[in-house]
């Protein structure tokens, strides 16, 4: 009995990569269940990327059984797949801190685990190129370790992945690409390449066809058995012609698969063989997103990146007042309203219709909705082509992912002054996804592009007006709004364009001026009210609304009246909204005799944590803004 209890002792508490290599297949299967339980329990409490992580547990165990993650280089694409890897490489005890302030990241990070996280990732499709660089570095350094890229089929919709494949096949270096094929990225994959990776050829129809052909060949008198042997020898060629093997072999890769990604014995056997092969190898592994957790298997899109939920039922948990619509929802609803009136409006997204609020648009206007897959550059130039022919394309995309299409915004849209509207969801601090996903650079990298109008709403009501303004403007526009629910501002029925470059003075004052943009306007108002209540200070608040064109006349008039000015934004200070105001005042010789302070994000990459925690740390919440005003006014009070 005691021996049986010892045998059933949880494996996870004693697991290290070295120990994994010593486990039997039966023990690995038991360990897979324990890893899944820990992932589900942790993500149910803190949110995270559940479905993709559950789908690769057996694949992760097989890789760690065959390869040494300390010596070998395993590069996980995106990182949504890497929770099991984190748990099994010395971070099981800290896994409960996942995505929390001061805890472990939701993505691989070299700084977090230099021994096992060999490359930091956040955006998709980088792993093949990075792994190829590591393979060349290995060979130039005279070393012998293995290099692997683990990439999902969703990431294979992006051009960067194929640039890496092309170079890797041409160089012929020893490396392995593991294609984790679950038929999804976040939403269902789109495009011809995703159809080519479809598993339908390996399904029942192909099996039935194969059996019928074998039966027919056997029935041929005298030569039937010989024909059957020849057909079986030709089977690999048949598969190569009609399956993804043809594609990857054309890139110079030796293709193996498809393989059941939940069969540990088969996975281990294949990787043992692959470890001794030379040249570029692609192993095609079929997995099920959300494997082992029924709610995630049933709804993998929802459980791709999920908030807190009841692990027993999968039901979402709601905290606080969630009755208000999110900024994302308000954008989607407003766009549908305008599209009913204007048949020229086309909605475009990059593999994220749910995340950008376009599901209703897709359902109502299917012929005017395009999901381009994880191809942000293509999305922008595609939109430019539509705009050149008289349409009004809307590109809805997360701020952090828009960075990938910078050149296309400059050359294909703004240089030609085409009426493409960019709607940047998740502008500012996004919270637990951390530095790869914070949308804190957009105001800076967009502001210096000629012809581009840039707006940021203070609340959901103003967002509706900015959607209308963008689609009424005969040129490129960008509207940037935050992640999360709105403030409960009443949504008007009427939609009228806003005058360009026109802000609003929300609060009068005489002691100092807060000039704010976007989602920092309401915290600035609250800070001003606190300062009056606690310090007797009268602080004015101006909502700029526009980063470009700036409300120049209003800002200059206010600068004449106030000697103390704070410029508040949830963007990096370098080159952002505050810089724009300072440049304006400098050009008018209005800096002298004034104390002007930028209240934004300093020259750092902001870590992961909740939005409220990060804003408190960066002094971008009500208390922090009020404290900054006191600090600026304190020297003057002593004079």
Q: Which residues are catalytic?
A: 289, 376, 404
Q: Could you give the CA distance from residue 296 to residue 120 in angstroms, rounded to a whole number?
A: 26
- Residue 248 CA, chain-centre distance (Å), reads 26
Q: Are 361 and 369 in contact (CB under 8 A)?
A: yes
51 in the Ramachandran plot: left (φ > 0), alpha (ψ -120 to 50) or beta?
A: alpha
**CA dihedral sign, ordered 349, 355, 357, 361:** positive
> Where do runs of H (alpha helix) occur along 243-320?
245-250, 264-274, 294-298
Residues 6+ apart with CB under 8 A from 419: 387, 392, 473, 474, 475, 476, 477
Residues 6+ apart with CB under 8 A from 546: 453, 454, 455, 500, 501, 502, 503
Q: Could you give the CA distance from residue 282 to residue 205 in angstroms, rounded to a whole number?
A: 25
Q: What are the residues facing 48 on neighbouring strands?
A: 306
Closest Cα to residue 109, out of 89, 128, 133?
Answer: 89
107-121 as b/e, with b when 16 or more CB fall inside 10 Å?
bbbeebbeebbbbbb
Q: Could you give the CA distance from residue 63 to residue 3 in angstroms, rounded to a whole number?
A: 30
Q: Could you give the CA distance from residue 555 to residue 565 in angstroms, rounded to a whole number?
A: 11
Show the 3-state SS of 58-97: HHHHHHHHHCCCCCCEEEECCCCCCHHHHHHHHHCCCHHH
Q: Are strands 345-349 and 392-398 parallel, antiparallel or unpaired?
A: parallel
Largest Cα–Cα separation, the chain: 111
Closest Cα to residue 132, out of 148, 110, 152?
Answer: 148
Question: How far apart are the two ends of the chain, measured CA to CA in Å?
Answer: 82
* DSSP H or E segment with residue 564: strand 564-572
Query: Which tokens go with 153?
Result: 């089929």
């Amino acid at each position: 009995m005691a021996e049986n209890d010892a045998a059933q002792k949880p494996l996870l508490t004693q697991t290290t990569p070295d120990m994994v290599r010593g486990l039997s297949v039966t023990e690995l299967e038991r360990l897979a269940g324990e890893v899944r339980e820990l992932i589900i329990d942790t993500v149910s409490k803190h949110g995270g990327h559940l479905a993709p992580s559950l789908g690769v547990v057996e694949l992760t165990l097989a890789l760690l059984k065959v390869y040494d993650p300390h010596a070998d280089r395993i590069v996980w694409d995106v990182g949504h797949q890497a929770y099991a890897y984190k748990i099994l490489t010395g971070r099981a005890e800290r896994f409960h801190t996942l995505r929390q302030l001061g805890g472990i990241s939701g993505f691989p990070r070299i700084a977090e685990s230099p021994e096992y996280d060999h490359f930091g990732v956040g955006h998709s499709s980088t792993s093949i190129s990075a792994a190829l660089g590591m393979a060349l570095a290995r060979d130039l350094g005279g070393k012998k370790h293995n290099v692997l890229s683990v990439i999902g089929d969703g990431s294979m919709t992006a051009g960067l992945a194929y640039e890496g494949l092309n170079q890797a096949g041409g160089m012929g270096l020893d490396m392995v690409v593991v294609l984790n094929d679950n038929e999804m990225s976040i939403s269902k994959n789109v495009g011809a390449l995703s159809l080519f990776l479809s598993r339908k050829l390996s399904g029942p129809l192909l099996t039935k066809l194969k059996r019928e052909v074998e039966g027919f060949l056997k029935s041929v008198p005298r030569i039937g058995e010989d024909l059957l042997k020849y057909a079986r020898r030709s089977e690999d060629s048949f598969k190569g012609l009609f399956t993804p093997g043809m594609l990857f072999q054309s890139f110079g890769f030796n293709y193996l698969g498809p393989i059941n990604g939940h069969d540990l014995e088969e996975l281990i056997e294949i990787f043992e063989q692959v470890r001794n092969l030379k040249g570029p190898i692609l192993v095609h592994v079929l997995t099920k997103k959300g494997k082992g957790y029924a709610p995630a298997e049933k709804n993998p899109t929802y459980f791709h990146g999920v908030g807190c939920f009841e692990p027993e039922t999968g039901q979402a948990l709601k905290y606080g007042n969630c009755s208000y619509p999110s900024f994302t929802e308000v954008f989607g609803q407003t766009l549908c309203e305008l599209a009913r009136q204007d048949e020229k409006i086309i909605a475009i997204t990059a593999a994220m219709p749910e995340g950008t609020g376009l599901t209703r648009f897709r359902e109502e206007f299917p012929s005017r909705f395009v999901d381009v897959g994880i191809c942000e550059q293509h999305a922008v130039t595609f939109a430019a082509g539509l705009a050149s022919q008289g349409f009004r394309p809307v590109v809805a995309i997360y701020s952090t992912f828009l960075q990938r299409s910078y050149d296309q915004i400059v050359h294909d849209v703004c240089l030609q002054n085409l009426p493409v509207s960019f709607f940047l969801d998740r502008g500012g601090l996004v919270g637990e996804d951390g530095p790869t996903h914070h949308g804190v650079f957009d105001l800076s990298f967009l502001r210096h592009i000629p012809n581009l109008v840039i707006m940021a709403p203070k609340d959901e009501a103003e967002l509706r007006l900015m959607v209308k303004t963008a689609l009424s403007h005969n040129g490129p526009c960008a509207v940037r709004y935050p992640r999360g629910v709105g403030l409960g501002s009443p949504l008007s029925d009427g939609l009228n364009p806003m005058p360009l470059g026109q802000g609003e003075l929300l609060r009068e004052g005489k002691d100092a001026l807060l000039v704010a943009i976007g989602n920092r306007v309401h915290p600035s108002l609250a800070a001003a009210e606190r300062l009056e209540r606690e310090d007797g200070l009268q602080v004015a608040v101006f909502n700029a609304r526009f980063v470009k064109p700036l409300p120049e006349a209003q800002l200059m008039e206010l600068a004449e009246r106030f000697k103390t000015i704070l410029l508040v934004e949830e963007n990096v200070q370098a080159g952002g909204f505050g810089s724009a105001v300072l440049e304006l005042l400098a050009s008018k010789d209005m800096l002298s005799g004034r104390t002007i302070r930028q209240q934004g994000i300093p020259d750092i990459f902001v870590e992961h944590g909740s939005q409220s925690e990060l804003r408190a740390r960066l002094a971008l919440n009500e208390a922090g803004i009020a404290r900054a005003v006191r600090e600026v006014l304190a020297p003057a009070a002593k004079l």
